[in-house]
Structure 1
Amino acid sequence: MGRPHVLVIPYPAQGHVLPLMSFSHYLAKQGIQITFINTEFNHNRIINSLSKSSYQDYVGHWINLVSIPDGLEDSPEERNIPGKLSESVLRFIPNKVEQLIERMIAESSGTIISCVVADQSLGWAIEVAAKFGISRAAFCPAAAASMVLGFSIQKLIDDGLIDSEGSPRVNKTIQLSPGMPKMETEKFVWVCLKNKESQKNIFQLMLQNNKSIESTDWLLCNSVYELETAAFGLGSQILPIGPIAWAHSLKEESTSLGSFLPQDRDCLDWLDRQISGSVIYVAFGSFGVMGNAQLEELAIGLELTKRPVLWVTGSWDQRKPPIKLGSDQVKVVRWAPQREVLSYGAIGCFVSHCGWNSTLEGAQNGIPFLCMPYFADQFINKAYICDVWKIGLEFERDERGVVPGLEVKKKIDEIMRDDGNYKKRAMKVKDIVMKSVAKDGISYENLNKFVNWIKSQVN
């Protein structure tokens, strides 16, 4: 009997590549061969971010990283034009993936791919797999609530809440079912992308995905059933398998594979020197979303707290935070090994943009949040954190749309003082997550079922 071979295709953004890479490592540990497809631009960033160890030390012999062009120039100017990446994903990349699969089949004298695992936001990849008669699974790296919102698009149009292009007709807060987070029409996943072209492309992708998903064999979600019971109730075909990052140990070198930036591990030594529960961890993911005015106000607020700060600048490293705390009281790094950072007892709270990976990583370590969402699914995740799980607070913005320094200090003091028992609730959420990935937990069992199914695809 041959070894099962899975082709993995993420959406070409950091928050999508990382969970699918974790999933790939989990499958590889079960004896499944993986071919992981990145764009050439992201592939090069991943290889360049690896430290002294060799590429093989990270990927092992079971994961093969391959790349395809995305049709964009390598210059930051070209790549930062709003709507360019989403247009490439919609119109350019599908043909390149199809050509790659065709070539792989031709070179092997017959289909050697047991299954295609595609990012749920790439419905066309499911269609390409179906065209070649390959089994297929869709993987959602976001909350089930985000997927259920996508499935509800036609109903939202019928109810007059959005038009046929996804633009809101009314400014209204809705709840898809009791127990789900409340959502504002002005902040739907595709609406708050700050750019009409991106909005149009992402909405088109979501409409396509709704059709493509119908032909998938599996619909997997990097989430936890007990944290999103209402959403999974609405989307009964969605199987929770998260948080997938816990499928491999923090000690493995492979935890950094998939990162677009090299991780600064010096911050872990710095954390070792801090008092338990004292550090404010500040990280807003890989996108540069913060204007200069907000950067300055955040720095002022953090200084006013007089607490130690670990600040990850991400892709906007060229603008170092203007923070003036004492040298051993603040640590600024471009990129951190976040899963490890959040497992340190020194971390007291997480100032976050509420991306889903960050939300899960904070939740599974029992860390209270302070929320500053900007776009896409971050508002849904913020609603889970603040309103459903009650493990964090949202910063209030002023008339400029900026969170003032005094508001930063006030909310940090409130959550660190913890009269509201945020830490206690966060620890309960941690227990829920850990039970789900432990033996006999729902995520654990679903992962097992999927692996057994993959193995059954081999003739």
Structure 2
Amino acid sequence: MSLQVPTPTHTSHVVVVPYPSRGHINPMINLSKLLLSKNSDILITFVVTEEWLPSLSAEPKPDNLRFGAIPNVVPKLGRSGDNFLSVIEAVMTEMEAPLEKLLDQLQPPVTFLIYDAFLFWAAGVGNRRNIPVAAFWTTSTSELWVQYFHIFLQNMHLEKNGEKLIDYIPATSWVRLADIHLLDVQSHPILQWVLKSCQWLRNAQYLLLPSIYELEPQVIDALKSKLTIPIYTIGPNIPYCNKSLYNQSVGDHSYLDWLDCQPCGSVLYISFGSFLSVSTAQMDEIAAALHDSGVRFLWVTRGEKEVISLICGGTGMGMAVAWCDQLRVLSHPAVGGYWTHCGWNSVIEGVFAGVPFLTFPLAMDQSLISKIVVEDWKVGWRVKKDDRLDAFVGRDEIVVLLRKFMHGDAGREIRKRAKELQCLSQKAINKDGSSEINIEAFMKNIVESAVPKEGAKGQEVEIGIQNLN
């Protein structure tokens, strides 16, 4: 085990434990940086598996944010979609012991623990050590309502009628059970971990939601009426809080030069996330449709970059890259739309940037998020006729949709609505905004938890560079 540390003194020491994947790490490290921007007297130790340490260490960060590395729990499996369930099982069964060992050796003593709500065992770690714990929910509040109140408390996970319509999510229109993919037979192994996470949620002292109150007010109010612990909406948990650090990001930025040369609102940004992807056949159809449609695009993809460039190359209308500063791209004036898999972090970034969406859910909570974007917020259209994960869309159908979305008058209303949500999200982080007020209140909880022990008042603890083996 290793620990990267600075050498200042601090009174509050917060340990943050994310699920080890990009979609969970990003919002929790953004929260960590935001908390430190509010109070530089606290120290945060951000716990990651060793595979994540090199990339995270290369990113700009405050001096009082350090990384505590624990051994990889899935060294042989890798992170392809084929190993999805095996990776989850390894994380849920093998991370707890090395975290305990790390906590035993951390100095100064830990005074507060923020854990990914999916990692139910982390709540137990904090409880046994008498450390206050805050559960960080990583997706929409509506999804939490589904998992906790429908599946967990009402024991509805054995429901067979997938076409049945339910209306139990406050302020959300009817939802098909078939769109709640935790109820699929294939998802039952994950469902067992979800049920444990719901059970242990009651052992947390605080609940953090990476949402904006004004985006989900009814379901958030309903949640507060049901749970007795303090609940804070602290979104958007995206890298908006420190533009000076944000603009120092490393890597190839040639795509920004390309965007600078494109007309305002003309580029469709495409990203299907960092873990799962669409089938090869569907990828080929999308690439061919982009070529035929004449729509400008910037596509972030992994192994398929060369294939996309080959299919679409030569036109000068598009660019495929392996990585980009997503929020920076979405905020660029040339970008006029976002084709997304509907991961919550990505959707919130799109809302913050004020762009409309094309939704293309791939797994888990993404169908519900797609529904929220299209039907409830009314800031997007579906690429598939519905949110079935196995639906295949042909190139001709995609061509028509792309031209209508990027060039037609039909998209005018969703673009107007997208700008309204952008204003709403930016007000939330301003002085006296809903998220700003909640972050200040939560910070007070953190500071108050660091009451010095008897005889320790006035003492300073110096933190040196350590190697914890």
TM-score (norm 1): 0.87
In structure 2, the residue matched to 1:138 is 135
In structure 2, the residue matched to 1:430 is 422
Letter in 2 for 1:211: Q
- In 2, Cα distance between equivalents of 1:168 and 1:264: 49
- In 2, Cα distance between equivalents of 1:317 and 1:125: 38
Letter in 1 for 2:342: C
Structure 1 residues 4 and 150 mapped into 2: Cα distance closer, same or farther (>3 Å)? Answer: same
Percent identity over the alignment is 28
Please state if 1:242 is matched with 2:235. Answer: yes
Structure 1 residues 22 and 255 mapped into 2: Cα distance closer, same or farther (>3 Å)? Answer: farther
Letter in 2 for 1:22: N
Letter in 2 for 1:454: I
- In 1, Cα distance between equivalents of 2:302 and 2:441: 37
Structure 1 residues 215 and 247 mapped into 2: Cα distance closer, same or farther (>3 Å)? Answer: farther
Letter in 2 for 1:239: Y
2:179 pairs with one of 172, 175, 187: 187
Is the contact made by 2:340 and 2:346 (CA closer than 8 Å) also made in structure 1?
yes
Alpha-carbon RMSD: 2.5
- In 1, Cα distance between equivalents of 2:288 and 2:332: 25
> What aligned pairs does 1:43-442 form with structure 2 within 5 A after superposition?
43-47=53-57, 50=58, 58-74=60-76, 76=78, 80-104=82-106, 108=107, 112-152=109-149, 153-157=151-155, 161-163=156-158, 168=160, 170-180=162-172, 182-191=174-183, 196=186, 199-236=187-224, 237=227, 238-245=231-238, 247-253=240-246, 263-314=251-302, 317=305, 320=308, 322-396=310-384, 401-416=391-406, 417-420=408-411, 421-442=413-434
Is the contact made by 2:170 and 2:219 (CA closer than 8 Å) also made in structure 1?
no
Q: CA deviation at 1:220?
A: 0.5
1:8 pairs with one of 11, 16, 38: 16
Is the contact made by 1:22 and 1:255 (CA closer than 8 Å) also made in structure 2?
no
Q: Secondary structure at the match of 1:226?
A: helix
Q: CA deviation at 1:215?
A: 2.1
Letter in 2 for 1:90: M
Q: Secondary structure at the match of 1:373?
A: coil
| CA offsets 1:17-58 (integer angstroms, 9 cap, x no match) | 0010101111222212110111122224434xx3xxxx6xx2
Q: CA deviation at 1:418?
A: 3.5
Q: CA deviation at 1:175?
A: 2.4
Is the contact made by 1:181 and 1:380 (CA closer than 8 Å) also made in structure 2?
no
Please state if 1:36 is matched with 2:46. Answer: yes
| CA offsets 1:246-274 (integer angstroms, 9 cap, x no match) | 55133414885xxxxx7542111111100
Q: CA deviation at 1:231?
A: 1.6
Structure 1 residues 255 and 26 mapped into 2: Cα distance closer, same or farther (>3 Å)? Answer: farther
Gapped runs of 5+ residues in structure 2? 1-8, 452-469
Q: Secondary structure at the match of 2:63?
A: coil
Structure 1 residues 203 and 445 mapped into 2: Cα distance closer, same or farther (>3 Å)? Answer: same
Structure 1 residues 315 and 175 mapped into 2: Cα distance closer, same or farther (>3 Å)? Answer: farther
Deviates more, 1:245-254 or 1:330-339: 245-254
Q: CA deviation at 1:181?
A: 5.1
- In 1, Cα distance between equivalents of 2:397 and 2:245: 39
- In 2, Cα distance between equivalents of 1:200 and 1:185: 15
In structure 2, the residue matched to 1:259 is none
Is the contact made by 1:288 and 1:314 (CA closer than 8 Å) also made in structure 2?
no
Letter in 2 for 1:250: K
Q: CA deviation at 1:127?
A: 1.2
Please state if 1:17 is matched with 2:25. Answer: yes
Q: CA deviation at 1:320?
A: 4.0
Is the contact made by 1:391 and 1:423 (CA closer than 8 Å) also made in structure 2?
yes
- In 2, Cα distance between equivalents of 1:271 and 1:396: 28
- Which aligned runs of 4 or more in structure 1 are off by greater than 6 angstroms? none
Q: Secondary structure at the match of 2:364?
A: coil
| CA offsets 1:76-129 (integer angstroms, 9 cap, x no match) | 38894231111112211122212221233xxx4xx7111000011112111110
Structure 1 residues 45 and 2 mapped into 2: Cα distance closer, same or farther (>3 Å)? Answer: closer
Q: CA deviation at 1:184?
A: 2.8
Structure 1 residues 78 and 288 mapped into 2: Cα distance closer, same or farther (>3 Å)? Answer: closer
Deviates more, 1:332-341 or 1:289-298: 289-298
TM-score (norm 2): 0.85
Letter in 1 for 2:50: E
Is the contact made by 1:282 and 1:309 (CA closer than 8 Å) also made in structure 2?
yes
Structure 1 residues 41 and 140 mapped into 2: Cα distance closer, same or farther (>3 Å)? Answer: same
Q: CA deviation at 1:319?
A: 5.0
- In 2, Cα distance between equivalents of 1:118 and 1:254: 28
Is the contact made by 1:280 and 1:307 (CA closer than 8 Å) also made in structure 2?
yes
Deviates more, 1:405-414 or 1:277-286: 405-414
Q: Secondary structure at the match of 1:245?
A: coil
Q: CA deviation at 1:133?
A: 0.5
Q: CA deviation at 1:304?
A: 2.1
Is the contact made by 1:391 and 1:426 (CA closer than 8 Å) also made in structure 2?
yes
Please state if 1:26 is matched with 2:34. Answer: yes
